[in-house]
Structure 1
Amino acid sequence: MARFDGKVAIVTGGARGIGGAIVQRLVSEGAKVMIADLNPSAETGENVAFVKTDATVTEDVQAAVKATLDRWGKLDILVNNAGIGALVETPDMEEDVWDRVFAINTRAIFLFCKAAIPAIREAGGGTIVNIASISGLGGDFAMGAYNASKGAVINYTRSLALDHARDGIRVNALCPGLIATDLAVGAVTDPVDAAFWFERIPLGRAGRAEEMAAVAAFLASDDASYMTGSIVTADGGITAHTGQPNAPDRIRQRKLRTQ
């Protein structure tokens, strides 16, 4: 028996990238999945459906939940994956950029949770997985809006977990690091940029969307039945580092230069 046999899920931003990989993973393990995205998805069929959704618009979100219930009769899993970033320092940031980042990264999660929790409660409980970021755990250069919005996702996850444990609903967050998706193509394809990034990642590479999907599926499954309010990093070891220089490596390099 697959872990998600008989389960129904919604994945926001599920048309591509990490969201697309999560959809594929859930379906491969028996789930029926509704993709809620502005972009159409090629992943449709008996067990996968698509509903065009602006996750920042209340009516769209409610319609996505209704479409899921109309098609499969219940809802067990919500994966809030939709998100965007912005690389700009605060004095140069237009107000609508800040507002847009927060609308997609935080308001959308609120709207989907508000619409989905009653349905998940009616199903007898279930799980919510919020895709946050290691950028919600610390600061980055010129990423104030993204940092702030993902930090909000992390603490909102904890609050949701407290409020809905009594409903049998577990709520956890996944914090990816650098993942090789279309959004990160510039950081992983150019050799100079790749070296710049990878030297900061202990595992020495970008993560794959499929690896994030594996963690998200774990959090959504009964294998994580005693986890709620957890903030899980999958970042190749970046957040294990204080940021101090690699002194042993400098010592090794110095010895090599003197030989």
Structure 2
Amino acid sequence: MLLEGKNAIVTGGSQGIGTAASLELAGEGANVCLTYRRHEKEALEVVERIEKMGRKAICVACDIAVFQEAEAAVNAAVEAFGRIDILVNNAGMNWDGVCWKMSEEQWDRVLAVNLKGYFNFTRHTAPLFKEQKYGKIVNVTSINGLRGKFGQTNYSASKAGIVGYTKAVAKELGAFGVNVNAVAPGLIETAMLKNSEAREKIIDLAMGEMALKRLGKPEDLAAVIAFLASDKARHITGEVIKVDGGQYI
């Protein structure tokens, strides 16, 4: 197993990509602390599934945009596991609208969650990684942070910010043996997509762009996250890996 004896934090682990990443990391041998904001029942179910694999797991309620709540979540993980080896910054949100109609609240909240939230967790784990001379950070961005998307100026800006943030943090922590990378999904089959009133239209548009002509699953992204969190990727840092079925090209 790639991650035997490692301990991970996954933000937004109660559903979608976060759940798949939590289960994939556990399947590769890691203990997992997952955060959630609203979906406690789902988070507890993920914890139960991980424990059935023979791994340790906890879930922590946390608004990742709040600095002190991120600190408390990291402290809870350290208390539960003794140390942290892996951070997966995954939790995020969208609140769409064209720029001439977007409210200040829409802009501020999406940037606070999608960008500041990543800083908050990195800020509280980076000193631990520095001290132990080891750590893996995997940030979930989006191909829409690389190309922009109509009606998503706030989301695209936040995800583009993660790209620059990933590269800067990789430079800052590289001397301490810490790898920092990002994955950029295209359209992924998540609960958000399933519940969308425009689901079929969204899928049709994405399929028209995809080289592979298949809809991505959370597990497709989770496998790449687990690889980047492992020592198999020890000489990769500052990279953004697209997991999009060729949608970007």
* TM-score normalised by L of structure 1: 0.88
- Identity, in percent, stands at 38
Q: How does 1:53-72 map to 2 (within 5 A)?
A: 53-72=62-81
User: Displacement of 1:238 after TM fit?
Assistant: 1.4
Q: Does 1:227 align with 2:236?
A: yes
Partner of 2:149: 140
Q: Does 1:110 align with 2:119?
A: yes
Q: Does 1:43 align with 2:52?
A: no
Structure 1 Cα separation of the partners of residues 99 and 151 of structure 2: 7
Q: Does 1:8 align with 2:11?
A: no
Q: Deviations over 1:166-207 (max 9, x none)?
A: 111110000000000012225799555533331221111210
- AA paired with 2:46? E
Structure 1 Cα separation of the partners of residues 239 and 64 of structure 2: 24
Query: Which residues of structure 2 form unaligned runs of 5+?
Result: none
- AA paired with 1:61? A
- AA paired with 1:98? W
User: Displacement of 1:126 after TM fit?
Assistant: 1.2
Give the 3 Å change call, closer, same or farther, for CA 228–193 of structure 1 in structure 2: closer
Q: Tell which deviates more after alignment, 189-198 or 161-170.
A: 189-198
- AA paired with 1:113? T
Which structure: larger Rg? 1
Structure 1 Cα separation of the partners of residues 142 and 177 of structure 2: 25
Q: Does 1:174 align with 2:177?
A: no
Partner of 1:162: 171
* TM-score normalised by L of structure 2: 0.92
User: Displacement of 1:26 after TM fit?
Assistant: 0.4
Partner of 1:96: 105
Tell me the number of residue pairs that the alignment of Structure 1 and Structure 2 aligns.
Answer: 239
Structure 2 Cα separation of the partners of residues 178 and 188 of structure 1: 16
Q: How does 1:114-133 map to 2 (within 5 A)?
A: 114-133=123-142
Query: Which residues of structure 1 form unaligned runs of 5+?
Result: 241-259
Structure 2 Cα separation of the partners of residues 158 and 61 of structure 1: 22
* Native 8 Å contact 2:210 2:248 kept in 1: no
